[in-house]
Amino acid sequence: MDMDKVKCPHCGYEMPLQAAKDAICRGVFVRCKGRNCKRIFEVRINSNSDKTK
């Protein structure tokens, strides 16, 4: 299965999270593990795919 890594939108840190390319995710928040970041961001995967298609 193809997997996408989840990256922090603030610093680009690769989170220890992976999602299938056809996963749909929104409203899930994680804290960045980047050293100088630690910001909370929303994990959005294909959540607006009806718009992009």
Contact 39, 26 (CB under 8 A): no
Contact 4, 45 (CB under 8 A): yes
How far from each other are the two terminal CA atoms of the chain, in whole angstroms? 21
As measured in angstroms, the least distance from the Cβ of 4 to Zn ion is 17
- Site membership for Zn ion, residue 37 (CB under 5 A): yes
As measured in angstroms, the least distance from the Cβ of 7 to Zn ion is 8
As measured in angstroms, the least distance from the Cβ of 31 to Zn ion is 9
Q: Which parts of this chain interact with Zn ion (CB under 5 A)?
A: 8, 10-11, 13, 32, 34, 37
